[in-house]
Every structure is written in C-alpha cells, then in structure tokens.
Structure 1
Amino acid sequence: MGARQRFLLLGLVDTIIIACAITLAYLLRFDFQIRMPYFKLVPYVILMHVGILLPAFYKAKLYRRVWQYASVGELISIVKAVTVSELLFYAIHLTLQMIEPTLVVPRSVYILSWAFIVLGVGGSRFAWRMFRDSYLKIQPHHKRTMIIGAGDAGAMIAKELKHSPDTDCYPVVFIDDDPSKKLLEVMGLPIVGSRHDIPEVVKRFKIQEIIIALPSASRSEIADVLNICKKTRANIKILPRVADLVNGKVSLKMIRDVKIEDLLGREPVRVDLNHIVNYVKDKVVMVTGAGGSIGSELCRQIASFSPEKLLLLGHGENSIYDIELELLRNYPDIKLEPIIADIQDRHRIESIFARYKPAVVFHAAAHKHVPLMERNPSEAIKNNVLGTKNVAECAHIYGASHFVLISTDKAVNPTSVMGTTKRIAEMIVQSLDKESNTKFVAVRFGNVLGSRGSVIPVFKQQIEHGGPVTVTHPDMVRYFMTIPEAVQLVIQAGALAKGGEIFILDMGEPVKIDDLARDLIRLSGLEPDEDIKIIYTGIRPGEKLFEEILADEEGTEATRHDRIFVGKPLDFSRDELFFMLRMLEQTISKETIESANQIRQILRQIVPTYQWKPEKTGSAVGTSKLEAMAASREFAAGTEK
C-alpha cells in the first residue's frame, strides 16, 4: 500500500472513530436523550474535530508508523495529538461562541470526547498488533530459543525475534539470575530460572538455540555462563558488550556466534594512553614482520597514536600490500612506507635505517612454527637470531630511542630450536642495551588466538571438513591471549621501558588444548566424539606439555601496569655470546649432514637450559661444554685464517 492510499484509509478510519466518539460523548452526557438545541450542534462539533485532528495526526507522523510494532511511544503520540487538538478546538469554539452565543457545547463533552477519541484511535492501532501477535506462534521451521538475560536488551531481542520474518529463531523462555524476576513474564515469555538451571531448562523446553543477552556483564561472568551453556547441545550466540554497541541500540544483526576468546573470561586491557603517546606520537615507527598476525595488529594500533611515519617492513609482498590498504582505508591521513626486505640481509636493513632513521622499532619478524623449525634449524637461526641481530644493531647505530622485541614463552627452558633462537634473541637485545642509548627490551607472552599457524584456525578447518580434530596430547596446556590485547600490552611495555628488561605479560590461567578443541566443536553446534572425532597424534618434535612464562632463576618484579611484570636480567658474557653467534653463522654457511647436530650443540652452549638429547653420531656431540667450547674456538680460529 502506497503512502497516499495509506493516508486516505487511516484518515477515513479516524474520521469514523471521531464521529462515533463525539456522538457517544453526547449520548452519555444527556443519558441517551439529546435535547434539540444540542442535537443540532453535533455535526458542527464532529466536523470541527475532524478538521483539527486529522492535520494534528499527520503532523505527529501517526500515518507513517508501522503499527504492527505499536508500543507505548505510539500511544504517547496519540495522547499528545488529541490533547493539543482538544485544547485548540476549545479555543476556536470560545471565539465562535462570542460571535454566535447559541453555539453551546457542554464542558463534559470535551472530556468525554478526549477520552473516547484516545481509546478509539489508540485501540484501532493496537488492534492490528494484537491481531498479528495472536498468529505469531512458533512454526515447524523455527528453532526453540532461550534468552539469557531478561533485562532491556533481552526484551528487545525477544520482541525482534517474535516479529522478524527473516529469522529462524523463536523465543520460548528467559533465564535471569535476579530471584525477584522468577516466575514473572517478559514479552509474554516466562522467566524459568537462573544460570544454574540452564541444562535442565534446555532439556525441558527442547531448546535448540541460546542467546546470551548480557551486554553489561563482565567478561568473567560471560565466560561462566558460557561454561554452563557448553554442557548442553544447543547452539550458542551472544550479544556484544555495552562497549561494542553503537548508541546502546540492540538489533538482531548484532547477535554473533560465540568466539573462543569469549571463553577466556579475561577483562579488557587498560592502556596508559599518555605514556604511549609520548614515545610514539610524531615519531617514525618501524614494525618488522608488519604483514603477520602480531605485526599487522601492531600497525593498526600504532596508527591510532598519530606517528609521523609508519614503516611497514616485511618479506611477503602480499601481506604488506593488504595491511597498507587497510591502514589507508581506516587512517587516510597517515603517512605509510611499505618496505619489502629480508631482515637477514644486513646491507638492505642498514640502508633502510640510514634513509628513514626510525625512532621506535617493534621487531615482530620471526619464524615461529616449532615442528618446521626442528626440521630446518639453520633457517630459524638465520631469521630469529641473525635477523634480530641485524635489526637491533642498526637500531643502536642509527640512534633509535626504543627497540621492542616480540618474544615467546617457548624461550623459557626451551625444548625446541625455535624457542632457543628466541631466547638468544632476548640475550642479544639485553647485551646491546648495556652499551647503547637505545632502550632495548623484550616482551614475552604465550600463544595468541587466531594467529597464523596457531591451533585455532587448524581446528576450525578440521571441523568444517567434518573432522577428525587432531590433538597432540590430552594433557597439553598452553597460555592464550587475544591478538589485540597482546599487542596493547606490547605497546604499553615499550612505554615502561628503562632498558634491558624482559617484560612478561600476565596470560591468565593456562588452557588445555583438548578442552579448546572440544569447546570449538560445541560452539559449532556439534558434539565431540559423536559428531566430530578427536584423535590424539602424540607430541611433535620440540614441543612440551607445559609451557612456562618465566625461568626459575629470573624471578619477577611488578610494574605500574597490573598485567605486565619484569623478569630479572640474567648474567652472561657478551663476548662469549657474540663469539658463539659467529660460530653459528659459520656453521650454517657450510651446511652439511652433520650441521643439524652441530647447530644444536652450539645452541645448547649458548642456552644451557635448552633441553635437547643429541643423537649418537661420529661428531663431537656428547663432549662436555668446556671441550665443545675449546673445539669451537679452534674451529672459529681456523675459519678466520
């Protein structure tokens, strides 16, 4: 129906309602026996009301409203329009009565007419909604839905689910922890219990879909509710938190699937913006590995602090191109310099530093895949050790104020080549800090959810293909953090830097990988071991069951940020470290069949906590550390001749 036809139809209905309301008002006033002088004035009163009310209704936009969603707001508009019109009629009538005294309208007719018109017009609008609601029942294609949270957000979601033709969910019951609400109804739906009753309610009402509508709840509270919901086989969706809602308005489009990070229950990171701005704003900032998971997020967050120029350094052209386009789209005024370079190329890195002279360097470029680096130890050393050395030394030579190394918990008591190379990278920046004006620091944290090569994307792909999901060991645990919160803490740690520290991020409680896999399966609406099989494949080379975030001898000190701690620096010989690095470089430059064991030998000498059992070969493997050091010095001396 067009706007013109709609106006004509509703105008005709309202004219009939007004005429009936005024006639009824006169009948009641005169006990259904209207005397002749007054009877003649009824048409006059009706016409005056129609002439005033219809324009008032149009001005109040009552003819533009969708009345199937009529609510208290629409009723208030009707009351206002009728009240103003009745007062206007009264004023006009008094003026006309001064001209023609016989035009007498009893005062009670004004009040009765006002009441009957409000009831008539309001009733006609709400009648369509009541008629429509009486037929809005759950259909065979609907999923029986439970809403957790009977507050404003939950009520709005229930209303939209009931009336939206585009959804396959239909609300059946509410869950709310407020005991005063139990056995009450919201939007015609019963509130049947608290969060502890969820499993029983799901069974009793045959719930297929659960919507968590608690936008003001803390992350820990949401995680607790999710852990209860996981015990059911219902599909779980969630409404964003208040901080993520635009203008506090709620709609069905905002409902999203539960993400694994929702289960961590970690409160958002609080950032000290003043300190961050002081060392990033109006500075030339370089991010190495800018196309990677951590590097790209570093670029996104640094861009918001208005650097003078942001250097995006990476080895892969496609990933650098993608992050450049994204930053230019979101920050059109930012100055970017995409740089394709390999950190192993010392000459190239020096030329970049000489040209741009970055004041702040975030070094995120690294090989991080543990099993792959076990098979390719020389590449791990080239990138994670020698590449870090190149970038760090250039930062020192060209006068950067800050150098922040992104490290890993795998650097603590390492069992892998990757973890050992990252520990050596930490030692490099600590040793450089002792002789440089640059503040060299490392930031150590565990796994980040959703990063490239991490377990979450692998599990999701396996679930999408119908399984099986492969878990290395049922008891394996890891620390997890979301990429944005890890990067926020990295930037914050740079602001806290005095030089030489290893900052350690509070990762919360460790998570069992087996539980993580099962959660992802359940969040996909499936049941572990029934719909999707879980297979245990065994621990891979270089992996360990439990990751550590801190070595025993390091200890920790608090910082002014409650999520960042400082590990006490360890004593080691700088000369010995750089001598062993030259040995590593010589060994990998003349790679042979025996090189893998020789490389691991040298790594063990640099990092005594490296847990590696050498294979028995004809090489010098198995000699004592002093013997190996002597042999290595002779080897190095021979190569220099």
Structure 2
Amino acid sequence: MKIFTNRPFIVPRWIILIADTVISTASFVLSYFILQEFRFPLLIRGHFFIYAGLFVATSLTVFYAMRIYRGLIRYSNTKDMFRIFSAVLVVSLIYPVVSELVAIRLYRIPRLDMPTLLVLNFFISSSLLIMLRTSIKEVYILAKGNALADVKRVLIYGSDQHAILIKQAIEAANNEKVVVSGFIQSGGKKINSNIEQKRVYHSRELADLHKKFNINKVILPNSLSNNADVRRIIDQCLNLGIQVQAVPPSEQWVSGKLSMGQMQDLRIEDLLPRKPIEINNQLVSKEIYGKRVLITGAAGSIGSEIARQVMSYNPEMVVLCDQAESPLHEMQLELEEGYPAAKIKTFIASIRNLRRMIIPFKEYRPHIVFHAAAYKHVPMMEKYPEEAILTNVMGTRNMADLSVCFGVEKFIMISTDKAVNPTNIMGASKRIAETYVQSLNSSSFNPPSTELLSDLLRDADDESISVVNNKTRFITTRFGNVLGSNGSVIPRFRSQIQHGGPITVTHPEITRYFMTIPEAVQLVLEAATMGNGGEIFVFDMGQPVKIADLAKNMIKLAGLVPDKDINIVYTGLRPGEKLYEELLNEKEKTLPTHHEKIKIAKVVSRSYKEVLNDIENLTELCKQGDHFKLVGKMKLIIPEFISNNSEFAKLDDVKGRKKVLFVPAFTETINIRN
C-alpha cells in the first residue's frame, strides 16, 4: 500500500484509542516497577493484574469520553497536547476511586502507594503520548515532503495568538501539500524560541530559510501590509520569488474561525507607497445624514463606491443613475442586501438627454449630486472627440444646470488629473467641464438660457423650481488613476498574467499617480463637506509609480519571475498619452485645508457668459463631424492643451502655441440639447 499518495492513508481512530490506552497502561506498569525498585511482590501474587486491568478500563473510558483519539496525528497542535494532559490528569483523579471500590473493597487486596504512583505515571504517560504524536508528525512531514516535490512550505509572520490561529487553520485544512515551516518576524524576545513545535526566525534569515527549506509562501495579517518592517519582508519575498498571502482581520472570519479559503494573495494595492487615509466621519455624516443624494455614473467604479460609502451615512435616499442596465441592476441588488430597498432608487438614462434627466430631479429633489458619469479612456476619445464633448462637457452642463434649477445644495464633479495641462481630448473635455462648473458657481446668470430647457421647466409646472436664483455650491475634485477601476491597467495586467503574458506597457518610463477606489471616494466625501463652492480640490496621491515597476511587482505577486515566466513588452505611447500626469499646472497654486491630503487649487476662473458661448460653439461643431475643427476650438478654449502622440498635434506649432485654424464663431444661443 502506498501511504504517501495524493489520497493519504488514515489510521482508524479506534486503533489510535487502543494505542493510547496501551501506552498509558505501560506507563502505569513502568511507574509501579520503578517505585518497587523492580521487585514484584504484588505481581507474584497476581494482585497487580487487577490494578492493571482497572487502569486499562479507566484509561479507555476517559480517553474515549475526552476524544483524544480524534483528529489526525500529523496535524496535532497545542490544543491536542493540552487535551492529552487533561485526559491523563482525569485518569489520575478517577483511578484511586475506582481502585478503592473494586480492588480494595471487592477483592480485598493490599493498597498501592497511590499518590506517588499516579504522580510518576502522570509525567511518564503524558510525555510518552505527546512524544508519540510529535514523532509521527515529524516523520510524516519528512516523508511527505520527500515524496511530494510540489509541497508548499510556509512561513507565518508574527508569533502572537493571531499567527498561531493561522497555523492551526492551515493544519486543520488537511491540505497535504502545505507545510508550516515556522514563524518569522523582525525582532522581539521570541526569536529562536519554539511555538507549537515550530521555530520563530528573524526576518533577516529569510534568504537562508528560502534556500534551506525551499520556502514557497509567507502569510501575514492584511492589517500589517503598510507596516514598515512587513513591507521590507514583502520586498524580500518578491525578490526571492516567494508568494505572499494575506489573512483578513479576525472580524471577517466566518463564524469566528479562519479557513484556508479566506487567505488571499497580496494585492498590488497593498504595495502602494502611501500612508492610510483618515477622514472626519462625523463631518461627512453631518453632511449626508437624512439627505437625498443623486449619483450619476453610479454603476461605474467611482460612482458605485460613492454609493456604498454614502449609504453607510444613513441618507434619506440614494438615486443611482446610469445608462448601463446590467451593472446598475447589480449595484441595486448589492445595496439592497444591506440597506432598506425603499432608500435605493435607480434611474436609467444618459446625462446627455436633458429631457430624461429632468425626471429624477423633479421626482426625488436631491439635496446633493455626485457627478461621476464621464467617458474616461484616452485613446477612444482621440478617435471620437465629439463623444467626449457631448458627454463630458454637455452632460456635465445638463447636470449642473438642473442642479441650479431644482435647488440642489451641493454639486460635486469628479474630475481627473488629465485635465491639468491636457495632452489628450479626454483631459481637455474634463477641463472645459471644470471651467463651466466653476463659472456657474459665481454666476448670477440664468443657467437655463436655452429655449429647450426653459420649455421643459415650464412644462414641469412647479413653482418651487428656480430659474433665476442660483444657490447651488459647485465643487470639483481632481485626482489621478484609481486601482482596479473598469478597464484600468491593473485588471488588464492581471488578465495578461493569467493568460501567460506578455504584459504590455506603453513606455519604460511612464509613471502615474495611483490611489485605491475606496481611498479616492473617502477624499471626495471629505472635500464635499469642506467645500463652500467654486473650489477645485486636488488630492495628495502619494508617490508616482512607474507602470513598468507595477507590472513587475504584479508578476512577482503571482509567484512568477518577470521576463522569464512572463515577458514585459513595450508598445509605445498611445495617442494622447503622456509620460507623467500632473495635479496642477504651472499657473495653479494650492491652498491648504484641514486635511493634509486635500488642497485647493487656485485656478484662473472665467466668466459664465464666456464659457457658455464656448460650449455652445463646441456643441455646434460636434454636429458638423469635422474633428480637426472641433479639436482646434478646444485648443483655443484651453490654451495649455498640447496634443501628444496624436494626429491633432499638427494643430500645435513647435513652441506649443496653437496654429491659426479657421473656426466659425457662434454668437447665438443654440438649441440642440434633447
């Protein structure tokens, strides 16, 4: 029979029970012989067999009742050892009573020196039972490790109770291909000590341990991934090709217990060089509690996270608006699992459709609008500039105008660092939208200046709608790339790794600012509370990250070797793409706020009338289908818009000044929104 196979041989539990009873009885006999100095007066007369038989019966009964035979010996741990001590102690307490009732009173045989005998037996018996389990365990691990080349040897970070629970969860999973080789930490009194029969090593020994034991994996609590010592260990692991897994906080364990299935590979988000973000939850709660909130782009990466976090502050209602049917439905179902369905409303529409967008404003009367709907992919917008204008500019105008007309208290626009010194159409369209929102904040002009919007509002027949008095405060938040958003670099890299590569990076030196989606939304909510209107808030995104380094770390996190297991291929910059992003241009300065990661950009503002005229001109050009005229007009509106790696670069001269381009001027208000 093969013992060490993928389907291991398991000794029946009744055999373990009998073996434990035999060892315990043999210990009892040995203890008696030692105390009698190996003279056998009771043995000669046969009396000792009665005592031995009673001891067998007592041990068998107690061991069965306390179930010390249960569980696999090769996965014995501290709890099992304690159970053995307890069982032997119970035998030592019960046996004198049994022997008194049976041996002495029934058979009337001489008494043994019971206290001394049982104390000696306690130490011998418990030691032998524990040694048996430890020996079998070590022999099994050695044999199994030699038999299976693909066995994974694991180190666990830490030596506290949390680390012990991780070890026990691994062993309880009965996974024959995972062996805990020890614990590792950066210092402390427990270095070189043993816990649960495993040694605690210093982190500086990691490279040697990797060679000695062929360590495949290091497991650490997820809460420590930003700890400086742990980060050094993670970097060591990545360089040595050791996989890193994280364990969720104990409050997330199922039924209070940790299982192997809850251990997850360390995410690239956990390796960003940044400090944890802290926000003033009380201020955010005061801003949102009991309010009606409308979120555009609610099915997208940012919009959906805004919805999740807003719901946690107990608003009166959240209206989820998006044109993507299935993701919006999924978002609704997700929120309804944790919150009353009556608080969650959905509305399917495009923000470009002014007539449709009046409906949620009229029906739900939101106090706060988070405007996250936008086109964001740079190469796509280079191909379809009119779509960028109609959605990112006109769509924003629709939402902003309606916010004024329906008395929205605050309008928060989600912008991008690509709006700073834009090199592409997407960034330029967002910058134009920023200028409109900012100009509208201080405007005394009537936003529904088009005939269509005036007619629509008149049809609404609601005296509470104000078409003159602008009391809405407009706030813009500007930040860089978020990790894990739909269509972003992280999911793409992950997919490429899963398919065996290669990973495609546009340029070896390209860098980006990164932030996780929850972190970005936390700052959006904080900025929304502190905004008085007209501000453009920029976020401290931490240190910029090279995309090539990001790709290499993702390959290493997958337990692979860059340019060996997975190749990295450089494809060249895409149209409109630049090597690095900026949160401010050279003319913009910042003012501090009470939050160290949020600053206010001092941006040169333009008059509402001037911006409105530019937007109307752009909208008319969208109807003509001439991309060069349209982009040329965008460059006149945003002088710092210099195309990069794009066909529209011909509209710029070598010094970055715009070439003269004939763009017709439009002075009349154009009625084209529908």
Same fold per superposition (TM over 0.5)? yes
Q: Distance in 1 between matches of 2:55 and 2:318?
A: 69
SS in 1 for 2:641: coil
CA offsets, 1:362-398, max 9 Å, x none?
Answer: 1110000111111111110111111111112212222
Aligned partner of 1:110 in structure 2 is 115
Q: Is the 8 A contact 2:475 2:536 kept in 1?
A: yes
Aligned partner of 2:247 in structure 1 is 240
Instruction: Compute the displacement of 1:324 (Å).
Output: 1.8
Q: Which shifted more, 603-612 or 161-170?
A: 161-170
Aligned partner of 1:438 in structure 2 is 472
Q: Distance in 2 between matches of 1:208 and 1:245?
A: 28
Given the superposition, is the C-alpha separation of residues 563 and 103 from structure 1 closer, same or farther in structure 2, using an over 3 Å criterion? farther
Given candidates 618, 622, 628, the residue that maps to 2:659 is 622
Given the superposition, is the C-alpha separation of residues 109 and 333 from structure 1 closer, same or farther in structure 2, using an over 3 Å criterion? farther
Aligned partner of 2:572 in structure 1 is 538
Q: Is the 8 A contact 2:589 2:603 kept in 1?
A: no
Given the superposition, is the C-alpha separation of residues 18 and 540 from structure 1 closer, same or farther in structure 2, using an over 3 Å criterion? closer
CA offsets, 1:180-216, max 9 Å, x none?
Answer: 6666666666667534x655664x4484623243556
Q: Is the 8 A contact 2:155 2:215 kept in 1?
A: no
Instruction: Compute the displacement of 1:127 (Å).
Output: 1.4
Aligned pairs (5 A) from 1:421-436: 421-434=429-442, 436=470
Aligned pairs (5 A) from 1:435-584: 436-584=470-618
Q: Is the 8 A contact 1:141 1:168 kept in 2?
A: no
State yes or no: 1:420 paired with 2:453. no
Aligned partner of 1:366 in structure 2 is 374
Aligned partner of 1:269 in structure 2 is 277
Q: Is the 8 A contact 2:323 2:350 kept in 1?
A: yes
Aligned pairs (5 A) from 1:29-428: 29-33=35-39, 42=48, 45=51, 55-84=61-90, 86-87=92-93, 105=111, 108-117=113-122, 119-120=124-125, 123-124=128-129, 126-137=131-142, 138-139=145-146, 140-143=148-151, 145=153, 147=155, 149=157, 151-152=159-160, 166=175, 168-170=177-179, 175-178=184-187, 194-195=203-204, 198=206, 202=210, 204-205=211-212, 207=214, 209-213=216-220, 215=222, 217-221=224-228, 222-232=230-240, 234-240=241-247, 242=249, 246=253, 251-331=259-339, 335-428=343-436
Q: What residue ranges of structure 2 are gaps of 5+ in the alignment?
A: 1-10, 444-469, 653-657
Q: What residue ranges of structure 1 are gaps of 5+ in the alignment?
A: none
State yes or no: 1:606 paired with 2:613. no
Instruction: Compute the displacement of 1:323 (Å).
Output: 1.5
Q: Distance in 1 between matches of 2:612 and 2:492?
A: 38
CA offsets, 1:157-200, max 9 Å, x none?
Answer: 567667865353445576543286666666666667534x6556
CA offsets, 1:301-342, max 9 Å, x none?
Answer: 223333322211111112112212222234465632221101
Given the superposition, is the C-alpha separation of residues 116 and 237 from structure 1 closer, same or farther in structure 2, using an over 3 Å criterion? same
Instruction: Compute the displacement of 1:559 (Å).
Output: 2.5
Given the superposition, is the C-alpha separation of residues 275 and 104 from structure 1 closer, same or farther in structure 2, using an over 3 Å criterion? farther
Given the superposition, is the C-alpha separation of residues 288 and 116 from structure 1 closer, same or farther in structure 2, using an over 3 Å criterion? same
Given the superposition, is the C-alpha separation of residues 609 and 479 from structure 1 closer, same or farther in structure 2, using an over 3 Å criterion? same
Instruction: Compute the displacement of 1:417 (Å).
Output: 1.4
CA offsets, 1:486-545, max 9 Å, x none?
Answer: 122222222222222222221100011122222223333333334433332222222211
Given the superposition, is the C-alpha separation of residues 529 and 270 from structure 1 closer, same or farther in structure 2, using an over 3 Å criterion? same
CA offsets, 1:109-146, max 9 Å, x none?
Answer: 22322441563366336514422421322234225646
Aligned partner of 2:460 in structure 1 is none
Q: Distance in 2 between matches of 1:147 and 1:243?
A: 19
1:302 partner amino acid: V
CA offsets, 1:411-438, max 9 Å, x none?
Answer: 1111111111111222222223335333
Q: Distance in 2 between matches of 1:323 and 1:533?
A: 36
State yes or no: 1:586 paired with 2:586. no
Q: Which shifted more, 459-468 or 480-489?
A: 459-468
Instruction: Compute the displacement of 1:547 (Å).
Output: 0.5
Q: Distance in 1 between matches of 2:436 and 2:82?
A: 72
Query: What is the TM-score of this pair, normalised by structure 2?
Result: 0.80
How many equivalent pairs are there? 620
Q: Is the 8 A contact 2:591 2:601 kept in 1?
A: yes
SS in 1 for 2:667: helix
Q: Which shifted more, 348-357 or 129-138?
A: 129-138
Q: Is the 8 A contact 2:75 2:137 kept in 1?
A: no
Q: Distance in 1 between matches of 2:197 and 2:16?
A: 29
Q: Which shifted more, 422-431 or 597-606?
A: 597-606
- Root-mean-square deviation (CA, aligned residues, Å) is 3.8
Q: Is the 8 A contact 2:421 2:642 kept in 1?
A: yes
